[in-house]
Structure 1
Amino acid sequence: MSEENEMSSIWVLPEACISHIFSFTSPKDACIASTVSTGLKSAAESDLVWEQFLPSDYQDIIARSVSPLVYSSKKELYFHLCDSPILLDGGKLSFRLSKSSGKKCFMLCAKELNIAWIETPRYWNWKTLTESRFAEVAELLSVCWLDIHGKMQTQMLSLKTNYTAYLVFKLLENSYGLDSPSKASVKLVQQGIGHVEGENNTVYLKEPTLRQGRWIEVVQSIYGRMPKERRDTWMEIELGDYFNDEGDEGDIQMQLLETELLGWKHGLIIEGIELRPKEE
């Protein structure tokens, strides 16, 4: 059968049937199909299709939104959640969708992280930044012991998905002590079992500079992970990966630790820790 005849045979199908077919494709495929013809456009943009691309628990998620969501179609809702992260649970958690796959992405705010000495004003300070999605961020004033970790239930994440955890942060111009190697890890914590160890990674919040006496750290920097700039003007450093299989394993614990060199550190601003699909 020629391609022309194959296309012609589609038109004899009810629109609901065509929409059902598109629901087994991907958001990208549905968008492409909607540009082929006016006949396919209606089927490809139907709520039946885009309901399948949204997480199965999307209604429960948007019900936790700080601000109400207004949308006229499921496709509009999908792209709103992709392009404009929403705050959940009183502003403690940020949520969005990966545009290519519809997989869930979450960011824990700094207030929800366990940060050593965070309640001591001489070491840390809470402040407001207009460029942050959260009400407050954590500003490092002066510490020698850096220990930051957060956790999230695996059942909140998309199933059968490989996630990467990132610390999202900024550095002040007068920052110092943050170019030393830190240890980062992503571990599974199961109730009654304890830690299931994940890989420990060497990361840098700030690229080390070459100066006398620092050649060891320069060599380490070749094998360590360096921070990258995000599109939202923040920086991020990759902490580690976790494959969320069935979603009922327990809690994911994400940590960044520098407690060996114990040099004084200053000028770090933490927005949170983000978990998003590795392929994004």
Structure 2
Amino acid sequence: MKEAKAEAEMSIISMLPAECISHIVSCTTPLDACRSSLVSSLFRIAADSDIVWERFLPQDYKEIISTSLNSLSKKDLYFHLCNHPIIIGNGNMQSGKKCYMVGARGLSVIWGDTPGYWRWISLPESRFSQVAKLNYVWWLDIKGYIETKNLSPRTTYAAYFVYQLSSQHNLGTAATPVTLRVAYEHSAVAVEHSVILDPVNYEGTAPPHARYRGDGWFEIEMGEFVTEEDNATVVCSLMETSNYNCKTGLIVEGIELRPKE
């Protein structure tokens, strides 16, 4: 009975023009579009059309890609960008969505312009010309302000604090956490939690939050948010203002935003 009903529904759908089917498929996901192309030759034509895959590309993709990519179909362009991310200023494209990174120079770092507290140095493993190295402070207060117009719309993003620790680092005690917070500016709703930055604490175990990226840097997820507004500001912050122990040896590359898997 169910099989007969499914066949009847498929027969009705097959009577629709390919363009209508394309519009329907464009309201799904890239994975669903690929699955739809296996249904029949009509669905393959509809699911592979530019109508579908242009919907999955960033709205401003024409301003980002080079002219050499204009000859590709929208489907081929989508998968090309998945496999060959394009650097866009401080960001890039991944899986059809934009990634973005604010370098240390673009962050608000308390006492960051005071040479006695922070130094600006160059490291060969950094994508930025300068990173911030902590000489010593008693308080940590680092904030990044990201405008959602630089990100893909209607997308869940995670923010990551990207850093190193020098061989002579000291961030207080092994159990001293920092508070990470992600929220829209002026919003009372925020994602907030505490973590330990030292990837190997004095007991010799790695905290679950820190991850080695493989490019010379560690990262810790700060929180996530959804880009529901076209022109808003998200504030990502790292703070430790309750422990007055001297802190030293933290090296900050920046804050990176990536679409959640």
**TM-score range for the pair, normalised by the shorter chain length:** 0.7 to 0.9
Partner residue of 1:153?
147
Distance of aligned partners of 1:232 and 1:188 in 2 relative to their CA distance in 1, 3 Å threshold = same
Partner residue of 2:120?
125
Distance 1:186 1:104 in 2: 18
Distance 1:34 1:79 in 2: 16
Distance of aligned partners of 1:276 and 1:47 in 2 relative to their CA distance in 1, 3 Å threshold = same
Distance 1:156 1:164 in 2: 14
Q: Does 1:31 align with 2:34?
A: yes
Distance of aligned partners of 1:128 and 1:210 in 2 relative to their CA distance in 1, 3 Å threshold = closer
Aligned alpha-carbon RMSD (Å): 3.6
Unaligned runs of 5+ in 2: none
Give runs of aligned pairs for residues 98-177 of structure 1, distance below 5 A: 99=95, 102-121=96-115, 123-130=118-125, 132=126, 134-144=127-137, 145-177=139-171
Aligned-pair distance for 1:96?
2.3
Post-superposition Cα deviations, 1:226-252, rounded to whole Å, max 9, x if no partner, equal 21234666422122333443344x421
**Runs ≥4 in structure 1, deviation > 6 angstroms?**
none
Distance of aligned partners of 1:125 and 1:48 in 2 relative to their CA distance in 1, 3 Å threshold = same
Q: Does 1:86 align with 2:80?
A: no
TM-score scaled by length of structure 1: 0.70
Could you tell me which of 31, 49, 68 is aligned with 1:46?
Answer: 49
Give runs of aligned pairs for residues 66-77 of structure 1, distance below 5 A: 68=66, 70-71=68-69, 72-77=72-77
Unaligned runs of 5+ in 1: 212-217
SS of 1:56's equivalent? Answer: coil
Distance 2:99 2:153 in 1: 12
Post-superposition Cα deviations, 1:236-274, rounded to whole Å, max 9, x if no partner, equal 2122333443344x4211111223334444443333212
How high is the sequence identity, in percent, across the aligned residues? 39
